[in-house]
Amino acid sequence: MAVAAAVSEEAWLAALLEVESALAACQADAGLVPVQAAAAIAAVCEHPERFDLAALGEQAAAAANPVEPLVRALSARVPEEAAQFVHWGATSQDVLDTAMMLVSRRALDLVLDDLQRLADACAILADRHRSTLMAGRTLLQHALPITFGLKAAGWLTGALAGWQQLSAIRTHRLAVQFGGAAGTLASQGDRGLQVLDRLARRLDLAEPVLPWHAERSRVAELGAALAVAAGAAGKVALDVALLTQTEVREVAEVAPGPSSAMPHKQNPVAAIEIDAAARGVQAQTAVLLAAMRAEHERAAGAWQAEWTALSEAFRLAGGAVGRAAQMVGRLEVDEARMRGNLDLSGGLVMSESVTMALAPALGRTRARELVQTAIRRASTGGSTFANELARDPEVAKHLGQEALTAALDPARYLGSTQAFIDRTLTEYRREFPSPLRGGNLSDLSRRGGR
């Protein structure tokens, strides 16, 4: 899976070397390091595959830090006169934190793309099913009619919220870390800020006002935003899982999972995997939030817990969002079943509608009493809610047959549903206006099939 690769050990190694290479280049620009040395360092850093990941991993455990052994390995591969200038005046945390930002940017781009694909897929459903009636369910009970398009629009707002927050972090919060051993850049003489500035530009990362070795809000916010994005996917997955229940069956995954025991089962496997992944992200977020508690100029434990926690959070969030995009993009929707379930309660789902229809004439209190009487009679007798209403003289007096039928028609009790869907699609198009992604929903349809 793409995000998993972006946070793999190989990806981290390449990013660490990229930082060492960029550092030497910027220091060469600033006159701290010979240009040839920087070139020699760059030449070695371009080949992460020549380093022994397993050996580095073992040494990293011994040093509580992968950069220290990497600097040794890198220095050993660089000609001696250049080796002196490897990692010039930097500290391990400079390289690791900056690499963490590079890794995060690449992984973020993939997660953002998946969130966009999820948004695409939700937008298509929102538009296509804007009038597909189904039961709105609150506290797991039928409440009022909604349309499946409105539900999908709700999923879309979740994807957009996740996308917006992660986009903002990508733009503003991914910053180079360069402070030297204790954050003063003393090792860079009077060129510290110059190197810092060049490094930020070269790596296309934000330049912080101050090194952030012990101010970890960037990482904590990123972790929380990943949990929110995964949470948006998890919300969709939960709805899908509930809608695929044997008793509900309103949607189906296109490739449900087989059962090892039961030939008839159609397990909502994508929804399940998304849910499991979202749970894992939240656990890692807790580690990242707790890591703000950093001792002095570098934390002894909390910082070291960040690396795997963040990688794991990305891997799981990427899995959750990517799979959600795929699942929603290929969801099978059973409109007849949606309508059938809506009618299951024999019209009870229209109780508020009837109450509101009676209220102008009778007042809400009396209207509610009449409706509740009809509900009671319907539930004890063998009749339906509609029949009981029709046979109640006080109801009949104020609601003629036609008005009663209208009040019992789910399609006529959708309020602002269409407007809400339109508002959501408008915001969606504002976020993703690029021609590639199309400005109209027929384009959307093609995109959803990816």
The residues carrying an active-site annotation are: 259, 298
Task: Compare residues 25 and 90 and give the one whose CB is closer to a copy of itself.
Answer: 90
DSSP annotation of 258 reads P
Task: Compare residues 261 and 436 and give the one whose CB is closer to a copy of itself.
Answer: 261
Task: Compare residues 82 and 203 and give the one whose CB is closer to a copy of itself.
Answer: 82
Query: Could you give the 3-state DSSP secondary structure of residue 1?
Result: coil
Report, in Å, the least distance between residue 52 CB and a copy of itself: 18
For the chain, the C-alpha Rg in angstroms (whole number) is 29
- Burial pattern 412-422, b for ≥16 Cβ within 10 A else e, equals ebbeebeebbe
Strands 141-147 and 251-252 come out as unpaired
Report, in Å, the least distance between residue 360 CB and a copy of itself: 10
- Amino acid identity of 440? N
Per-residue three-class SS string for 119-146 = HHHHHHHHHHCCCCEEEEEECCEEEEEE
Phi and psi (nearest 5°) for 212?
-115, 30
Report, in Å, the least distance between residue 145 CB and a copy of itself: 8
Report, in Å, the least distance between residue 202 CB and a copy of itself: 18
Report, in Å, the least distance between residue 388 CB and a copy of itself: 12
Which pair of structure tokens corresponds to residue 303? 């910082």
Give the C-alpha distances (Å, rounded to integers) separating 14 from 49, 102, 308: 8, 10, 16
Task: Compare residues 164 and 445 and give the one whose CB is closer to a copy of itself.
Answer: 164
Task: Compare residues 78 and 444 and give the one whose CB is closer to a copy of itself.
Answer: 78
- Helix (H) / strand (E) containing 427: helix 417-431
Give the C-alpha distances (Å, rounded to integers) separating 293 from 64, 178, 210, 298: 18, 20, 18, 10
Which pair of structure tokens corresponds to residue 375? 């509900």
First to last CA, the chain: 15
- Amino acid identity of 409? D
Report, in Å, the least distance between residue 351 CB and a copy of itself: 4
Q: Residue 312 in contact with residue 280, Cβ under 8 Å?
A: yes
Task: Compare residues 85 and 435 and give the one whose CB is closer to a copy of itself.
Answer: 85
DSSP annotation of 296 reads T
Report, in Å, the least distance between residue 225 CB and a copy of itself: 8
How far is C-alpha 262 from the chain's CA centre?
34
Task: Compare residues 179 and 446 and give the one whose CB is closer to a copy of itself.
Answer: 179
Task: Compare residues 121 and 291 and give the one whose CB is closer to a copy of itself.
Answer: 291
Q: Residue 354 in contact with residue 389, Cβ under 8 Å?
A: yes
- Taking the C-alpha atoms of residue 353 and residue 358, their distance in angstroms, rounded to an integer, is 9
Task: Compare residues 58 and 446 and give the one whose CB is closer to a copy of itself.
Answer: 58
Which pair of structure tokens corresponds to residue 293? 């508690």
Report, in Å, the least distance between residue 381 CB and a copy of itself: 15
* Residue 445, number of CB atoms within 10 A of its CB: 14
- Amino acid identity of 118? L
List the beta strands (DSSP E) in 166-289.
251-252
Report, in Å, the least distance between residue 443 CB and a copy of itself: 21
- Taking the C-alpha atoms of residue 304 and residue 282, their distance in angstroms, rounded to an integer, is 19
- Taking the C-alpha atoms of residue 328 and residue 152, their distance in angstroms, rounded to an integer, is 9
